[in-house]
Amino acid sequence: MNKLLAYWSILMKDMKNYYLKPPNISWGIIFPISWTLMFFMRSSSEVDIRGILPGVMALSILFGTTSMLAVTITFERKSRSFERLLLAPISLNLLMLAKTTGAILFGIINAFIPVLFASFMVDLSDINWLSTFIGVVLIAVTSTFLGLFIAVSVSEVFEAQTFSNFFRFPMMFLCGLFIPIENLPVFVRPLSYVLPLTYGADMLKFSINSTGSINPWLSLLVLIGYGMALFMISTHNIKKRWIY
């Protein structure tokens, strides 16, 4: 019970101090809206809204979660407030889960803003919503833990943003979000299958348009594996660099 209370208290503190601040709320809404409008209205010709919807959703999650978490963790470490949390009588794993849950929720909300826009333009009634939601949650988890990995690997906020872009921008072009992986040069395709967003985007494609090229169960297992690996590496780095 005490562990649950500590988890809830840390989550609520982060929600109040970071995610529910007016600038972050507006940024969290404007960012996916900007992505949505950019792709949905990019030309005067007809746009395949359902075709690009999985990519827009994945990008909204990726940029929202990594940006928020990388900055908040780095800022707290810089201000030494994170060190006070490390003194709390709870395990490091539970502490980091509490610190990352807010970003995961932020990413899930970001994902469905493009869906709301698309619902006014095309019929989305035949989408597999359960599979879509699972895909969104897994992308949010892996992207958040990627942001955590970035945050514990740097010392300054500007370093976190720069390091984030090192991962994010290649994912935009290599993960099949808008350009099918089969159309990429042969020598870069293996790299596409190393990136976790490839599997998340494919899950959304399968759920929304039934056009995925990877077995959904394989994507599910790969995303879970990536999430666990990134979390364990991040907590190991915290123990090594911030505690001992």
Element (H, E) at 25: helix 22-40
List Cα–Cα distances, 143 to 16, 138, 160, 168, 234, in angstroms. 22, 8, 14, 10, 13
Following DSSP, what letter does each residue of 140-171 receive, concatenated?
HHHHHHHHHHHHTT-SSHHHHHHHHHHHHHHH
- Contact yes or no for 151/76 (Cβ under 8 A): no
Which residue did the predictor score with more confidence, 134 or 85? 134
* Residue that wins the pLDDT comparison between 87 and 235: 235
Backbone phi, then psi, for 214, in 5-degree steps?
-115, 140
Percent of the chain with pLDDT over 70: 84
Q: Tell me how far apart the alpha carbons of residues 163 and 73 are, in angstroms, rounded to a whole number.
A: 14
Residues above pLDDT 90, as percent of the chain: 25
pTM of the model: 0.89
Checking if the pLDDT of 200 tops 70, the result is yes
Which helix (H) or strand (E) segment holds residue 83: the answer is helix 81-86
Q: Is 220's pLDDT higher than 90? A: yes
Question: What pLDDT shows up at residue 143?
Answer: 92
Which of 46, 40, 80 is CA-nearest to residue 59?
40
The domains of the chain are located at 2-243
pLDDT reported for residue 172: 84
Please determine, for residue 207, whether its predicted confidence score (pLDDT) is greater than 60: yes
pLDDT in tens, 34-64: 766 666 665 555 667 788 889 888 988 988 8
Please tell me the predicted confidence (pLDDT) of residue 231.
Answer: 93
Query: pLDDT tens-digit profile of 104-121?
Result: 998 898 889 888 888 888
pLDDT digits (tens, 9 = 90+) for 67-90: 777 777 777 777 677 767 766 677
Look at residues 206, 4, 24 and name the one whose alpha carbon lies nearest to residue 105: 24
Structure-block tokens of residue 143: 């992207």
Q: Residue 23: its pLDDT value, please? A: 58
Pull the structure tokens for residue 180.
């099918």
- Res. 199 pLDDT band, cuts 50 70 90: very high
197 and 180 Cβ atoms separated by less than 8 Å = no
* Cα 38–Cα 21–Cα 149 angle in degrees, nearest 5: 70
pLDDT at residue 19 in the model: 73
**Cα–Cα distance measured from residue 27 to residue 202, given in angstroms and rounded to the nearest whole number:** 27
Query: CB-side exposure of 179: number of CA atoms within 13 Å?
Result: 12
